[in-house]
């Protein structure tokens, strides 16, 4: 079975640009979460979506937005990119939005803002 897939794997953008990152959860998983991991730190929670509804939001500015599609895949959008947005962006999926199942992470998208 395919795991959580993220695309692209690497991306270079210029300050002020917009970026869209994509995530496909494990088949049957209805919950998708997004995390940002800056070099040398642990991942930080950005969003969680379950059944196409936002169920949680971390302490990130409004430049960050996300959505979940009917097939449960998800997009993370970041507007007006800053140098500080350079990070590994991780997507995690789980079977439910509320239970304590183990969450499966993708390998991430490495975003570099120059």
Partner 1 sequence: DAKTTQPPSMDCAEGRAANLPCNHSTISGNEYVYWYRQIHSQGPQYIIHGLKNNETNEMASLIITEDRKSSTLILPHATLRDTAVYYCIVRVAGETSGSRLTFGEGTQLTVNP
Nearest to 33 by CA among 90, 77, 92: 92
24, 31, 68, 74: residue in contact with partner 1 (rule CB under 8 A): 31
Q: Please report the beta strands in 1-114, taking only residues with DSSP state E, as ranges in sequence order.
A: 5-7, 10-13, 19-24, 31-37, 44-50, 53-57, 64-68, 74-78, 87-94, 104-105, 109-113
Q: How far is the CB of 85 from partner 1 (least distance, A)?
A: 18
- 44 touching partner 1, by CB under 8 A: yes
User: Burial code of 24-35, b = ≥16 C-beta within 10 A, e = fewer?
Assistant: bbbeebbbbbbb
Compare residues 78 and 89 and give the one whose CB is closer to partner 1: 89
The region of 13-21, 52-60, 64-72, 73-81 touching partner 1 under the rule CB under 8 A is 52-60
- 98 touching partner 1, by CB under 8 A: yes
Positions touching partner 1 (CB under 8 A) are 4, 31, 33, 35, 41-45, 48, 50, 55-56, 58, 90, 92, 94, 97-100, 102-108
């Amino acid at each position: 079975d395919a795991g959580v897939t993220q695309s692209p794997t690497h991306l270079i953008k210029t300050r002020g640009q917009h970026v869209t990152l994509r995530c496909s959860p494990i088949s049957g998983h209805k919950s998708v979460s997004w995390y940002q991991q800056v070099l040398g730190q642990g991942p930080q929670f950005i969003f969680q979506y379950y059944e196409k509804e936002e169920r949680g939001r971390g302490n990130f500015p409004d430049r960050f937005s996300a959505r979940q599609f009917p097939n449960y895949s998800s997009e993370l959008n970041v507007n007006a990119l800053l140098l500080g947005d350079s990070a590994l962006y991780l997507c995690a999926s789980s079977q439910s939005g509320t239970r304590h199942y183990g969450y499966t992470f993708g390998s991430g998208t490495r975003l570099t803002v120059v």
